[in-house]
Amino acid sequence: MTLRVIHGWENGGFEPEDLQHVDYPLGGVPDFKRAVQDFEHASKHNTPLPADENAILAAPLAEAIADAEAEGQDLNSDIRETPAHWPAFEGGLALYTLFKMYHRLIYSEDDTYRCTLCMTPLGMREIHEFHLEEGEFALLVPPAEHFMSEESLLVLHESQLGPIEQLLEESLPLFDNF
């Protein structure tokens, strides 16, 4: 499993190039705690939050737009710049689905649970979003027949690191008898 921590959209912003992320291999709670420590350190020392160099939405969006135009599709600025219009081109629906997931994780959601099936860069994934009082996160997991053999992704906003860490710590004793 991989932990993906997102950050960068603020005050209602949603420009694809502003959404940052960093991925951590997640083999257990100590790996999760390392991510928490990295973000706490950056916050405490007023340094930039950890981020991978590749853009999580901007690069795939630019690639999908370039592919659509190479196939002769005319994409006006409204289609390019309005996420709800991205389904107008090949690959746009998947990008819009991921955009909405990231948006809900950052700006919250009224529904406590949401599930979607979507093609992602990892392949087909079930997206399970949890918007709970204890914390908000999404799990992107392969379909059941590939669950044990393919990569899963835990996605959360950096503000949720502390609450989810606490949820993990409080939940671990429940599994002692298994």
pLDDT digits (tens, 9 = 90+) for 90-112: 999 999 999 999 999 999 888 99
Per the listing, tokens 């908000």 go with 136
Q: So what's the pLDDT on residue 40?
A: 97
Contact (CB, 8 A) for 146 and 159: no
* Confidence at residue 176, expressed as pLDDT on a 0 to 100 scale: 72
The pLDDT-based confidence of 172 (bands split at 50, 70, 90) is confident
Over range 76-103, report the average pLDDT: 95
Q: Given CA atoms 53, 135, 167, 115 in this order, what sign does their dihedral have? A: negative
The CA–CA distances, whole Å, from 43 to 48, 78, 156 equal 8, 37, 17
* pLDDT for 15: 93
- Give the burial string for 37-60 (b: 16+ CB within 10 Å, else e): ebbeebeeeeeebbbeeebbbeeb
Of how many residues is the chain composed?
A: 178
Mean pLDDT over all residues of the chain?
Answer: 93
CA 28 to chain centre: 19
What is the rounded distance in angstroms from the CA atom of residue 159 to the CA atom of residue 156?
Answer: 8
Please give the Cα distance from 94 to 86 (Å, whole number): 9
Query: Among residues of the chain, what percentage have pLDDT more than 70?
Result: 99
Residue 52: pLDDT above 80? yes
Whether the model pTM is above 0.85 = yes
Pick the range with the lowest mean pLDDT from 2-6, 27-31, 32-36, 85-89.
27-31
What is the CB neighbour count within 10 angstroms for residue 116?
15
